[in-house]
Structure 1
Amino acid sequence: MSSTDQAAIEKRRGAFSSRNVFIFAAIGSAVGLGNIWRFPMEAYENGGGAFLLPYLIALLTAGIPFLLLDYVMGHRTRGSAPLAFARTHRKTEWLGWWQVGICFVIALYYAAILAWALRYTLFSADKGWGDDPNAFFGGEFLQASDPTKGISTEFVIGLLVPLVIVWLAVIVIMMLGVQKGVGNTAMIFIPVLILAFLALVIRSLFLPGAADGLNALFTPDWSALTDTGVWAAAYSQIFFSLSIGFGIMITYASYVGRKVDMTGSGLVVGFANSSFELLCGIGVFSALGFMAQAQGVAINEVASGGPGLAFVAFPTIINEAPAGVVIGLLFFASLILAGITSLVSILEVVISAIRDKFEMSRIGATMAVCIPAAAISVFFFSTKSALHVLDIADNFINKFGILFVAVVSMVVLVWIVRALPDFVEHLTTHGSVPIRGWWPALIAVVTPLALTFVLISDFVDTIKEPYGGYPTWMIATFGWGVVAAVIFGGVAASLVKWRPETSLDIPGPIDEGTAPIKEENR
């Protein structure tokens, strides 16, 4: 392919206008709902202050190394996840489509959580959840059905309307393109998110009982370091929170200039994400300390993760805290901002892959991806079974989707197609941080072994005790069934031939600066 043809293709794909936009977009993807409600509880339940040690080790030995692997895949091949794998080795394309499938599934329920946060932002103005937020969440709001009686197809208007609004907003963002949509959203939302959460943290620190909450979070239980489950939790948290292993960072890295510092950018994104997680822990547990003191109970009686933290614990805090309305608006606005930037990055993986495979326009690919996704999302997550389906799908696609494809990818790329020397050379050329020696050792041995241990541990636990007490058929359908579907779907998608216009060769250099050429939306 001539450099002129290559430049035309890159212009059609789109690009970030600068390294700063790329970094903000990557941070926007990494900083999501998991930072706000998952990290504080993982730390609390796994040794408190002592958890920070395995967490830091996991960041350095697995998080940043795999982040750099994603970066080099996208930056070197200039393609979406499937095209990046195909250009690395023709027979590995299915791994990229596996990652695309994971993103498609996550987008379906991630939009639903955003819709809940949108409603709760409105509720926080007048404490619309009443005196019993727990009963309101599962009852009047979700109208959750009994999972043992099958899947409910009865729609809940209070879930349907905000979910449609979320999908319409996201579709508009995605149609705007890489820079105008994805990049600008991150550049605006991330600073606002940080300011909003900082305000929440400062307000929470002055609540009565805040010190008790911080003591509960940071008091170290050093004996926990001998528990293998604690180390498994640390590696899991790092992987989930950095948005690595499912195509996002591959896609984003393909949108930056050839001379951008990839290793330096990786360190900035990795440590920025972890810093925000620590900030989340401080804010959340300051508020939980107040809630425990107000109710005269221990921290462990009010501490919960996931939806329970966002939609039960915080409304309870808002009911009792001075200036509770302000806390509510800041908290749920933060959820929306963090969720939007992450959902945009998740959908970009799918849209970019479709554009590369079928040479589609930006708007055409957006509609081809988002309309079916929105329809499926509305069908499953606007009904009385929404919470059950979401809980099962989220647990299984994260544990046995993201981690599994990450391990397989490392083994295939390093030990089967022997691409590691080329990766090292590229990162050395396009990075300011020396990576020879330590990075190959981590990505070839330490990281896959650590993640394999986490996978096996989680698999054994899941087999011993069915997840969440749900009926076997629900776990088989929305858990193992979804995991199997993305794997076999990835293999099937890889059998579709690329358009003749798409070269499967590694592109050569076409630009001299760091600012990529602008996108065409035709």
Structure 2
Amino acid sequence: MSESAATSKPRLRESFSGRTAFILVAIGSAVGLGNIWRFPYITYENGGGAFLIPYLIALLTAGLPILFFDYAVGHKFRGSPPLAFKRMHRSAELVGWFQVGICFLIAIYYAAIVAWAAMYTWFSLTQAWGDDAEGFFFAEFLQYDGGGTEGSGISVDFVAQVGWPLIAVWILILIALATGVRKGLTAVSMWGLPLLFLMFAILVGYSLTLDGAITGLNELFTPDWGALTSATVWIQAYGQIFFSVSVGFGIMITYASYLKRKSNATGSGLVVGFANSSFELLAAIGVFSALGFLAVAANTAVDEVATSGLGLAFVAFPTIISQAPASALLGVLFFGSLTIAGITSLISILEVVVSSVKDKTGWSRPVSVAVAGGSAAILSVVLIGGVSGVTILDVVDAFSNNVGIVLGAFSAVLLATWVYRKLDVLAAALNAYGSFKVGPIWKGLIGVVLPVVLGVLLVMDIRDKITNGYGDFDTWVVATFGWGSLALVVVAAIGLSLMPWRSNSAMHMESPDHEQVEREKI
């Protein structure tokens, strides 16, 4: 380290205005599309009301502990994932860049879903999908060509009604990121999150008045106690908790780095964790009330209409909206909620990438946003804004979420616990100002339970993809956009971790403790 760098006055890191701002932003990140379209179906498929028992146990033994872990890493070492892990140990930067790469992949396709939801908010006013919601979504709106299946190629031909809204979403997100932590990230969540909860509460209340709502809720919550003996149900519970609280891919590490030094990280974590799970339960009630209405209207069983993901959002719900009274209101509430939830989550995903580039290079925030965010935006419009966008979205999502996020989290907890031996340091950081104290139980959960759970999830998913491929997609498509995208992330992570930290980077200019500390040589 140069003498000038070593003796320069530390530059303070951006920070949230207070604990309330942090909690709102963290909840905004955690509450996303998966809460609305994944949790209800997972609950229904895995024992109904009985599933809430393993779900709650998973929250207490995995969700909250790893949330605290991410908070401790970010808050203690004051940086985005690469910087925080570098400060934890000189060889750990690679883990941070891998998590950044996964965020980059997710942002590319996540923005497209936000754009679709925004368009469907508008479509709800006229029920533009007509009598064939599925045909409208795939054929007319997306102009999906079935690329990557049955020998068909991949095309990136631009689809105007998809591409232009996607560009608009990217412009909005990049402007918000460029304005900073307080004016951008915080402002979006301070306005967006209350609006989201208000809209969704009205949506749930409305859904409960529909004919057949009780039928849907009975199907959802009637417990199948025998499911508790199934290992698959417990794995699903841990998987749902893990994916729903935005841990394992750098978001909470980055956000915690913006907390002021004397902050109650564990108390905030409890609020975020339980608020996220409460919203999931609220979403399940609203979704299955509506599905019960659809089943009764179609004179069929709920299991015939129950689905998740894109099918629930853009096929099942438009069908429900067309048949429900006050259909325009229902549509605006549902798709408006999806849009807001998606925006708050997307901003958090991109902030990991922007913050990491800013920390490493010493560039200003606007320049970091232009380079990192602009690159993601261009790839997103080119790849997902074309006629084969759904194929690329589906494959990249399956590998970045189910393999990438889990691998990043598994590596982080395993290295911190068994290689770098940093759990005592992290526990002390949490306990310094935290209202909820962590101790041996937390260390055991992080060091033993989480590596086992994450390892099982990782091995099962990789084995399944190697054995059975993925979906109906051709092998070359899965190899290119699935395994290939993960390989590119690994290569990029290695390259970025080998790059030296510039003299004006956060490593040299920001003190992790805002006081004199001993640093490892770079």
The TM tier, using the shorter chain, reads over 0.9
Aligned to 1:332: 335
What SS is found at the alignment partner of 2:355? helix
Provide the C-alpha distance between the structure 1 equivalents of 2:66 and 2:8, rounded to a whole number of angstroms. Answer: 33
Distance 1:506 1:417 in 2: 21
Correspondence for 1:277: 280
Q: Residues 101-133 of structure 1: CA distance to partner in whole angstroms, max 9, x if unpaired?
A: 000010000000011011101100000011110
Quote the Cα distance in structure 1 between the aligned partners of 2:257 and 2:40: 33
**Residues 113-262 of structure 1 mapped to structure 2, 5 A cutoff:** 113-146=113-146, 147-148=148-149, 149-262=152-265
Q: In the alignment, does 2:345 pair up with 1:342?
A: yes
Is the deviation greater in 499-508 or in 59-68? 499-508
Q: Does 1:418 align with 2:435?
A: no
- In structure 1, the residue matched to 2:519 is none
CA distance in 2 between partners of 1:340 and 1:381 (Å): 17
Identify the match of residue 374 of structure 1 among 354, 377, 380: 377
Distance 1:323 1:435, change over 3 A: same
CA deviations over 1:65-120 (Å, ceiling 9, x no partner): 11111001110111111000000001000000000000001000000001101110
Instruction: State the partner residue of 1:389.
Output: 392
Question: Residue type of the partner of 1:356?
Answer: D
Letter in 2 for 1:124: S
Alpha-carbon deviation of 1:503?
A: 3.4
What is the Cα deviation at residue 508 of structure 1?
2.4
Q: Identify the range of structure 1 (102-111 vs 448-457) with the bigger mean alpha-carbon deviation.
A: 448-457
Alpha-carbon spacing, 1:3–1:114, altered in 2? closer, same or farther (3 Å): farther
Distance 1:426 1:154 in 2: 51
CA contact (8 A) 1:164 1:378 kept: yes
Count of matched residue positions in the alignment of Structure 1 and Structure 2 = 507
Assess if the C-alpha contact under 8 Å between 1:102 and 1:486 holds in 2.
Answer: yes
Separation in structure 1 between the aligned mates of residue 511 and residue 58 of structure 2, nearest angstrom: 32
Indicate the residue corresponding to 1:5 in structure 2: 9
Choose from 433, 437, 444 the match for 2:436: 433
- Residue 470 of structure 1 aligns with which residue? 473
The equivalent of 1:503 in structure 2 is 507
Runs (4+) of structure 1 moved beyond 6 Å? 1-4
- Whichever residue aligns with residue 248 of structure 1, its letter is I
Does structure 1 residue 453 correspond to structure 2 residue 456? yes
Coordinate RMSD, CA, aligned: 1.5
Instruction: Give 1:462 deviation, angstroms.
Output: 2.2
Give 1:4 shift.
7.7
Point out where structure 2 has 5 or more consecutive residues left out of the alignment.
Answer: 517-522
Rounded Cα–Cα distance in structure 2 between residues aligned with 1:68 and 1:87: 18
Q: Percent identity, please.
A: 52
> Could you tell me how far 1:430 is from its partner in structure 2?
2.2
Whole-Å separation in 1 of the counterparts to 2:333 and 2:345: 18
Which residue number in structure 2 is paired with residue 88 of structure 1? 88
Alpha-carbon distance in structure 2 between the residues aligned to 1:400 and 1:453: 11
In the alignment, does 2:104 pair up with 1:100? no
1:461 Cα offset (Å): 2.4
Match of 1:294 among 297, 307, 321: 297
State the one-letter code of the partner of 1:438: I
**Residues 403 and 451, structure 1, Cα contact 8 Å, conserved in 2:** yes
* In 1: Cα distance, 2:95 partner to 2:124 partner: 43
In structure 2, how many angstroms separate the alpha carbons of the residues matched to 1:314 and 1:181? 32
Is the alpha carbon distance of 1:323 and 1:370 closer, same or farther for their aligned partners in structure 2, counting shifts above 3 Å?
same
> 1:4-56 CA distances to partner (integer Å, 9 max, x unpaired)?
822x242xxx2110100000000000000010101111111111111111111
Alignment of 1:16-35 (within 5 A): 16-35=16-35
- Kindly provide the CA deviation profile for residues 157-203 of structure 1, in whole angstroms up to 9, marking residues without a partner as x: 11011001101111111111111000111111000000000000000
Q: Are 1:87 and 1:506, in contact at CA under 8 Å, matched by a contact in 2?
A: no
Report the Cα offset of residue 423 of structure 1. Answer: 0.7
1:51 partnered with 2:55: no
Cα contact 1:76–1:506 (8 A) shared by 2 = no
Bigger shift: residues 207-216 or 419-428: 419-428
Query: Would you say the 8 A contact 2:85–2:95 is kept in 1?
Result: yes
Q: Please say if residues 72 and 430 of structure 2, whose CA atoms lie closer than 8 Å, have aligned partners that are also in contact.
A: yes
Q: Quick check: 1:494 aligned with 2:494?
A: no
TM-score (norm 1): 0.95
Gaps of 5+ in 1: 512-522
CA contact 2:359–2:507 (8 Å) conserved in 1: no
Alpha-carbon distance in structure 2 between the residues aligned to 1:252 and 1:169 = 20
Distance (Å, rounded) in 2 between the aligned partners of 1:158 and 1:506: 48
Distance in 2 between residues matched to 1:132 and 1:365, nearest whole Å: 44
Distance in 2, matches of 1:290 and 1:4, equals 66
Asked whether the 8 Å contact 1:32–1:339 carries over to 2, the reply is: yes
The farther-off stretch of 453-462 and 188-197 is 453-462
Contact 2:360-2:507 at 8 Å conserved across structures:
no
How many Å separate the matches in 2 of 1:229 and 1:266? 28
In 1, Cα distance between equivalents of 2:515 and 2:259: 12
Residues 342-369 of structure 1, C-alpha deviations (whole Å, 9 max, x = no match): 0000000000001100001111111011
One-letter identity of the residue aligned with 2:334? F
* Residue number in structure 1 paired with 2:483: 480
Q: Distance in 1 between matches of 2:67 and 2:31?
A: 14
Q: Do the aligned partners of residues 265 and 3 (structure 1) sit closer, same or farther apart at CA in structure 2, a change above 3 Å counting?
A: farther
Identify the residue that residue 517 of structure 1 maps to in structure 2. none
Residues 28, 510 of structure 1: alpha-carbon distance in 2 compared, 3 angstrom cutoff? farther
Looking at structure 2, the residues matched to 500 and 3 of structure 1 have their Cα atoms a distance apart, in angstroms, of 12
* Amino acid corresponding to residue 20 of structure 1 in structure 2: T
Structure 1 residue 506 displacement after superposition: 6.4
Task: Return the offset for 1:135.
Answer: 1.1
Q: Which amino acid aligns with 1:250?
A: I
Alignment of 1:314 with 2:317, yes or no, is yes
Q: Secondary structure at the match of 1:503?
A: helix
Deviates more, 1:47-56 or 1:204-213: 47-56
For 2:24, the aligned partner's letter is F
Mark the CA change 1:506 to 1:220 in structure 2 (over 3 Å): closer, same or farther. Answer: farther
The one-letter code sitting in structure 1 at the alignment partner of 2:94 is: W
**Residue 442 in structure 1 maps to residue 475 in structure 2:** no
> Which piece of structure 1 moves more, 152-161 or 350-359?
152-161
Contact between 1:318 and 1:325, CA under 8 Å: does it hold in 2? yes
For 2:124, what is the secondary structure of its paired residue? helix
**2:520 maps to what in 1?**
none
TM-score, normalised relative to structure 2:
0.95
Structure 2 letter corresponding to 1:130:
G
